[in-house]
Chain A
């Protein structure tokens, strides 16, 4: 609104033009008819504040001002010092109207505008300044100072300018009427808006990059992402603050106008050196790949950190120019080493894509910086250009963007590599796992083999043991058999029988019945011989057994004369010569039958029958039957203590069992008392079943 009013005012009053006049104490202007713009260089007297002591405004009119048009300059100029001076402008309105004009000298750090009537005291009309004004976008209007001179009167204006920064912005005093100033203002605004747009676009892009970096870091915690994010953040701050110095633009930092002195150089150092180095270190994994270079990077980063601190200190003591100088030196000093480092890196890891990304980014930025610097030398001169090293030109912005993008691409590639590696590791792991499995399988097989071997070994041993046990058992059996044999001999050659036989023979001899004695003696010898023979064998033929039994029974019959009879019946189907039966098995039963067969008082003659029969299933049945008192009664009758001596029958029974065990022969012996079947009958039946093997 105020601008609009100003414009109206300008339309109303700006009718005259300045007439150029020679330099004199007072500028005479027809303020009603001013030219479009009036270069005031030759109308202005200046006073430099040489020493550090600033003048008090009240003293200033007494000072002698001199005309010094060289003080003014178009574009930036490095003064090599802080610059504080006064401008004095005397204006006399020769027109008929009071006029209001605008005096503009450029964008400076501190500007104070005083007005005074001739000879009168100074009054501060307004103030402005890059370092002073905290206002928002309106503040940019304050740089045009009002020159209000009533018609026909003279006024003296003083402008106190202090530039703390060595690089002084354009200093060119111009007087505008309202319309002209408006035009000038619009032109300036347009110019800076274009620059601001570029910076804002850059900021937007940097924000995106930062987001990507942060997101990636969250996904994959890699330190290089952090460094990259810090680098981008630094750039964002750097450029955001850059916006602050663009006239007619507004940045978020306008409340802290002093910030531009803190941020500039340290930010550059931070971004382009410290973070760059740290990032390179982490990104290229120099610690493993190139330890020597890692040392250099670390040391350089530490030095940069130190320099940043020094710069901060300089800023704190308001020596704003020092960081700039330091930065200039740092920049110039690092130009060649950086190049060398690039070459070394390129050589060292020629084919590594990561290095390629890093180098491409670095070289882009390096070249852009150098280009921007060189391009600034031409218009500004070397010293001014050095002062403007930190100023972002389009070229440099492009470099920054390229670098950031290359780095980000590199990071992505790094991610990919990491992913690859992970995949590869996983594959390897899987492979290893498979291998392990295979190994385990093999091991298992071997183990199985071993177990099998050992098992078979154990089995073999077991078998051996079994065999040995069998042998042992056989021996045991043999031993037992031998014992039983002996017992059998003892039992079968019943001493009673033998000695009674001998007694009989003795009788025949004494009775001189030699023939009888002879027969008796030969039968007896045969029996003894066969007994000794058979008791040593396990099996004999049935024919032998029958002959033996016949002989035995014959002798017994001779002893007992007519008190006994015997009968051996044989199934004609039986092949007696081939059929084998256990030796000496039947004899004890026969002997028993003889012994008890003659004790039956109801039967004067003991009748003994031996019957051999062939049963189905290759079974030989032998039945020994007598008509005695029966086994039960004879047991009752036995007055002898039972333990006294085992009977022949028992021995036979044991023998059969032993044979069964040894040959699985399955001999079965059954002793039946006839009276248990039929009360009228008496006697014993022994049934022996001998399977044919």
Chain B
């Protein structure tokens, strides 16, 4: 049995999470619920749960405040929210599980499965540190990115060290400015969606470049030259688009 707590400001939300967990995940035992942050923190400290379902926005704070306030506790968190956009990068870059409302069975099952595995493996809680770092870092010139590598290990890199990333079937390869190459256990599409708002540009179907690492766009050929000397192919349409970026 996994001890769990639900923290949400809406009763309907708490009810439905509890209802669905009871129905589909019988191994999870709801020990308590809380309707705001302060309540949640005290409940966690009281029950020492292994798993916490956290609402993101509550009247007296956010789910991150709860994690911040309970740093001594060793629990895995699953965020439950109606709308994740505000905290998309904060959550996704730290590889913390998230379920969107209204909750569907599959995502609930998958999230529970992932965190259950981590709980069993007593996995590192490093991701929550990354999460809090990203949350507290107000300026966001660079994010911390927790990369799950294909060998099962994890590593954390700053996003501004990324030169470009490349699709490798259902995986994604990261090329860093110091020459390191990392194989992430996530799809290229997963990262592409996340990186687009962060001044990255997809130069072709399989490669995405951080704009600050482009040395120049070669006029007479379909290539761009990076600061490291690497040349990447760029399609005609995207070249024009990219150039208009700089105008």
B26 within 8 Å of A by Cβ? no
Q: What's the nearest-Cβ distance from chain B to residue A288, in Å?
A: 83
Interface size bracket, A side: 20 to 34
User: Quick one: which of A215-232 are within 8 Å of B by CB?
Assistant: none
User: How long is the Cα–Cα vector from A500 to B138 in the complex, in angstroms?
Assistant: 28
How far is the CB of A342 from the nearest CB of chain B, in Å? 103
Q: Which residues of B contact A645 (CB under 8 A)?
A: 86
Nearest opposing residue in chain A for B80, CB measure = A503
Bound CA span A498–B82, Å: 8
Tell whether A495 pairs with B16 under 8 Å between CB atoms, given A502-B101, A503-B102, A506-B102: no
Whether B70 sits at the interface, judged by CB under 8 Å, is no
User: What 1/0 mask marks residues of chain B from 154 to 188 whose CB sits below 8 Å from any chain A CB?
Assistant: 00000000000000000000000000000000000
Residues on B with beta carbons closer than 8 Å to the beta carbon of A500: 10, 12-13, 82, 101
Contacts of B15 in A (CB 8 A): 507, 511
Q: Choose among B16, B61, B82, B86 the residue that contacts A507 (Cβ–Cβ < 8 A).
A: B16
A560 CA / B16 CA spacing, docked (Å): 15
Q: Which of B12, B61, B86, B138 contacts A504 (CB 8 A)?
A: B12
Residue B103, interface by CB 8 Å: yes
In residues 1-52 of chain B, which contact A (Cβ within 8 Å)? Answer: 10-13, 15-16, 19-20
- Chain B 63-104, CB-CB to A under 8 Å as 1, else 0, gives 001000000000000000011011000000000000011110
Which residues of chain A from 631 to 656 have a CB within 8 Å of any chain B CB? 637, 639-641, 644-645
Q: How far is the CB of A554 from chain B (nearest CB, A)?
A: 15
- How distant is the Cα of A511 from the Cα of B19 in the complex, in angstroms? 9
Q: Which of B11, B59, B61 has the most CB of A within 10 A?
A: B59
A507 contacts B60, C-beta separation under 8 Å: no
Asked if residues A510 and B12 are in contact (CB atoms below 8 Å), the reply is no
Interface pair B86/A640, CB less than 8 Å apart: yes
- Give B64 Cβ to nearest chain A Cβ, in Å: 8
**Interface size bracket, B side:** 20 to 34
| Contact partners of B60 in chain A: CB under 8 A | 599, 637
Name the one of B11, B13, B83, B103 contacting A495, with C-beta atoms under 8 angstroms: B83
Question: Are B85 and A503 within 8 A (Cβ)?
Answer: no
B83 in contact with A496 (CB, 8 Å): yes
B residues near A505, Cβ cutoff 8 Å: 102
Do B10 and A560 touch (CB < 8 A)?
yes
Q: Which residues of A contact B85 (CB under 8 A)?
A: 495
For A599, the chain B residues whose CB sits under 8 A away are 59-60
Q: Are A499 and B12 in contact (CB under 8 A)?
A: no
B residues in contact with A510, CB < 8 Å: 16, 19-20
Cα A511 to Cα B20 in complex, Å, equals 11
- Across the interface, do B82 and A495 meet the contact criterion of CB distance under 8 Å? yes
Within 520-578 of A, Cβ neighbours of B (below 8 Å) are at 559-561
Q: How far is the CB of A687 from chain B (nearest CB, A)?
A: 25
Q: Which residues of A contact B59 (CB under 8 A)?
A: 595, 598-599
Chain B 117-153 interface 0/1 with A at a Cβ cutoff of 8 Å (1 = within): 0000000000000000000001000000000000000
Using Cβ atoms and an 8 Å threshold, which residues of chain B touch A497? 82
Q: How many Å lie between the Cα of A421 and that of B118 in the bound state?
A: 128
What is the CA–CA distance of A598 and B86 in the complex, to the nearest angstrom?
A: 22
Query: Which residue from A494, A498, A559 sits with its C-beta under 8 Å from B12?
Result: A559
Once bound together, how far apart are the Cα atoms of A431 and B10, in whole Å?
104
How many whole Å from A555's CB to the nearest CB in chain B?
12
* Minimum distance in angstroms from B228 CB to a CB of chain A: 32
Minimum CB–CB distance for B90 against chain A, Å: 10
Residues 187-233 (chain A) with a chain B CB within 8 angstroms: none
- The residue of chain B having its C-beta at the shortest distance from the C-beta of A637 within the complex is B60
Instruction: Enumerate chain A residues within 8 angstroms of B83, measured Cβ to Cβ.
Output: 494-496, 499
Q: Kindly name the residue among B13, B16, B102, B103 whose own CB sees the greatest number of chain A CB atoms within 10 A.
A: B102
Contact A639 B10 (CB under 8 A): no
Q: Is B116 part of the contact surface with A, judged by Cβ < 8 Å?
A: no
Residues of the B chain whose Cβ atoms lie less than 8 Å from the Cβ of A641:
138
Residue B204 lies at the interface, judged by CB distance under 8 Å to chain A: no
Whether A496 pairs with B62 at a CB distance below 8 angstroms is no
Report the Cα distance A79→B60, complex, angstroms.
166
Contact A639 B65 (CB under 8 A): yes
Contacts of B11 in A (CB 8 A): 561
The answer to whether A499 and B82 touch (CB under 8 A), given A506-B102, A507-B12, A510-B16, is: yes
The residues of A that contact B138 with a CB separation of less than 8 Å are 641
Query: How many whole Å from B189's CB to the nearest CB in chain A?
Result: 23
A644→B86 contact, CB < 8 A? yes
Inter-chain contacts of B61 with A (CB < 8 A) = 639
Q: Given the complex of chains A and B, what is the CA–CA distance between A631 and B62 in angstroms?
A: 19
- In whole Å, how far is B140's beta carbon from the nearest beta carbon of chain A? 8
Least CB separation from A559: chain B residue: B10
- Whether B10 pairs with A506 at a CB distance below 8 angstroms is no
Cβ contact within 8 Å between B62 and A503:
no
- Cβ < 8 Å to B, chain A residues 598-644: 598-599, 637, 639-641, 644
List 16 extra interface pairs beyond A500-B13, A503-B12, A506-B16, CB under 8 A. Answer: A495-B82, A495-B83, A496-B83, A498-B82, A499-B83, A499-B102, A502-B102, A503-B16, A503-B102, A504-B12, A507-B16, A507-B19, A510-B20, A639-B61, A639-B62, A639-B65
Contact sample, A vs B, 29 pairs, CB 8 Å cutoff:
A494-B83, A495-B82, A495-B83, A496-B57, A499-B83, A499-B100, A499-B101, A499-B102, A500-B10, A500-B12, A500-B13, A500-B101, A502-B102, A503-B102, A503-B103, A504-B12, A506-B102, A507-B15, A510-B16, A510-B19, A511-B15, A511-B19, A559-B12, A561-B11, A595-B59, A598-B59, A637-B60, A639-B61, A641-B138
Q: Which 4 A-B pairs have the closest CB atoms?
A: A499-B82, A495-B83, A599-B59, A504-B12
